[in-house]
């Protein structure tokens, strides 16, 4: 993918959520100084873009003023329908309580880590003997979706079919017809599975959803299918970006790479710093429900608000020398999993997957390093970011 130099944030946004954007951060740094509540053309209607950490955090905390309602109507709601990311208040809390147990730390103990490691090993087995590989295509893209199939309770024989749909679903921003076709196919595919789990529930996420009640009522098939599509997108797409970006960060920072190779127990430090340095989810959106002031700028009721998580995580008021990738950074906590009521429900799962997946790669591929002879990949993307490719060699 060729890199395009962007002069303004508007230009970058217009290029689309997955455009080849190598460095949005210099534009964000200038905006934090000069226009912290930047007016942008938005995704269809004029919007305000929050750049500073403090404004980002306050907006995410104040869910009454900064409502999530638009996330239930536009963007990915087109393929996944209305889900908790588009709900507010009590309705959100009641529905969120249904999904959190399935991805909570309790559910991730027992056999779960061993299953995640087995899936990582199966993927690595395919290229470990070759001495070189392209890790986006052969590992980071495949691993998180595969990890999701078993806990959902889908038949193992359907992995390939389901995997293809899940990938198509995550492509909705680039290719809406492909995303919509996948959404329809997943829903058709799930119908008999949901019916079977209703008559004979097992110990899996779909069974939990079919037996759950909100306000005394069982969830309908469509509601369950929406939830599952959300989990597939939220769970697979984001973690894929995180693992790719952590590899990119390490492979392009020699001292950090050597340290992690020699001390694999420091992989969690690399994952945490990557969440800040190259936040996989760069922006989330809200709609102002009242006139509100941020950094001295009035945001009018009804305005779409773009919340700059990626910019906040590079804010020099919180992070010293914020553009530096630093395994041993101290001080403020990143805000990559969001904040407040919509804080990422799957953060523990994402960390566990990333740490086990990267641990397996560094253990199984000695002296893992960038393939200097191959065309290098670049960091890319506006809404979600990760490297386009990761050509590596190993001993």
The binding site for ligand HEM (CB under 6 A) comprises 68, 84-85, 96, 99, 103, 230-231, 234-235, 238-239, 242, 280-281, 284, 309, 336-338, 342, 344-346, 349-350
Q: In degrees rounded to 5, what are phi and psi of residue 381?
A: 115, 150
What are the residue ranges of helices labelled H in 111-237?
112-125, 135, 143-152, 159-170, 176-199, 205-211, 221-232
Q: How far apart are CA 387 and CA 375, in angstroms?
A: 12
**Nearest approach, Cβ of residue 206 and ligand HEM (Å):** 14
Q: Between residues 386 and 389, which has the closer beta carbon with respect to ligand HEM? A: 386
**Nearest approach, Cβ of residue 38 and ligand HEM (Å):** 19
**Nearest approach, Cβ of residue 319 and ligand HEM (Å):** 17
Cα dihedral sign, 292-294-299-304:
negative
Q: In degrees rounded to 5, what are phi and psi of residue 134?
A: -110, 110
Q: Between residues 247 and 336, which has the closer beta carbon with respect to ligand HEM? A: 336
Q: Between residues 242 and 294, which has the closer beta carbon with respect to ligand HEM? A: 242
Strands (E), 248-354: 283-288, 292-294, 297-299, 304-308
Q: Between residues 205 and 210, which has the closer beta carbon with respect to ligand HEM? A: 205
> How many residues appear in the chain?
395
**Nearest approach, Cβ of residue 139 and ligand HEM (Å):** 15
Q: Between residues 63 and 189, which has the closer beta carbon with respect to ligand HEM? A: 63
- Residue from 280, 379, 304 nearest 73 by CA: 304
**Nearest approach, Cβ of residue 80 and ligand HEM (Å):** 11
Strands (E), the chain: 37-40, 47-50, 66-67, 132-134, 213-214, 217-218, 283-288, 292-294, 297-299, 304-308, 369-370, 379-380, 386-387, 391-393
Q: Between residues 13 and 147, which has the closer beta carbon with respect to ligand HEM? A: 147
Q: Between residues 219 and 234, which has the closer beta carbon with respect to ligand HEM? A: 234
How many C-beta atoms surround the C-beta of residue 331 within 10 A?
7
**Nearest approach, Cβ of residue 92 and ligand HEM (Å):** 6
**Nearest approach, Cβ of residue 68 and ligand HEM (Å):** 6
Question: By the 8 A CB rule, do 185 and 169 touch?
Answer: no
**Nearest approach, Cβ of residue 303 and ligand HEM (Å):** 17
Give the residue nearest to ligand HEM (CB). 346
Q: Between residues 133 and 231, which has the closer beta carbon with respect to ligand HEM? A: 231
């Amino acid at each position: 993918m060729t890199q395009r130099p962007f002069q303004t944030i508007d230009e970058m946004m217009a290029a689309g959520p997955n455009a080849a954007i190598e460095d949005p951060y210099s534009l964000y740094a200038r905006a934090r100084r000069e226009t912290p509540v930047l007016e942008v053309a938005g995704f269809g209607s004029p919007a305000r873009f929050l750049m500073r950490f403090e404004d980002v955090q306050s907006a995410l905390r104040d869910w009454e003023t900064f409502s999530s309602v638009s996330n239930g109507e536009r963007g990915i709601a087109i393929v996944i329908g209305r889900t908790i990311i588009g709900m507010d208040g009590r309705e959100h809390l009641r529905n969120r309580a249904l999904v959190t147990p399935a991805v909570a730390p309790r559910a991730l103990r027992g056999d779960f880590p061993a299953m995640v490691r087995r899936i990582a090993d199966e993927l690595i087995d395919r290229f470990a003997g070759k001495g070189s590989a392209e890790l986006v295509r052969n590992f980071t893209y495949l691993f998180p979706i595969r990890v999701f199939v078993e806990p959902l309770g889908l038949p193992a024989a359907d992995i390939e079919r389901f995997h293809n749909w899940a990938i198509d679903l995550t492509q909705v921003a680039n290719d809406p017809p492909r995303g919509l076709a996948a959404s329809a196919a997943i829903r058709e595919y799930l119908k008999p599975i949901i019916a079977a789990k209703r008559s004979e529930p097992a110990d899996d996420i779909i069974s939990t959803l079919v037996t759950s009640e909100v306000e005394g009522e069982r969830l309908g098939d469509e509601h369950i299918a929406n939830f599952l599509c959300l989990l597939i997108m939220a769970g697979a797409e984001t973690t894929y970006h995180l693992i790719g970006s952590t590899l990119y960060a390490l492979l392009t920072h020699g001292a950090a790479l050597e340290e992690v190779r020699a001390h694999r127990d420091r992989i969690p430090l690399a994952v945490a710093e990557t969440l800040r340095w190259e936040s996989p989810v760069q922006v989330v959106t809200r709609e102002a429900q009242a006139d509100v002031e941020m950094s001295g700028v009035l945001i009018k009721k009804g305005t779409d608000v773009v919340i700059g998580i990626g910019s906040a995580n590079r804010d020099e008021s919180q992070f010293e020398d914020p553009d530096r990738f630093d395994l041993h950074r101290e001080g403020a906590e990143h805000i990559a999993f969001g904040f407040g009521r919509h804080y990422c429900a799957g953060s523990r799962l994402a960390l566990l997957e990333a740490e086990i997946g990267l641990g397996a790669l560094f253990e199984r591929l000695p002296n893992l390093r960038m393939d200097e002879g191959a065309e290098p990949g670049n960091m890319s993307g506006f809404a979600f970011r990760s490297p386009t490719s990761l050509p590596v060699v190993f001993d």
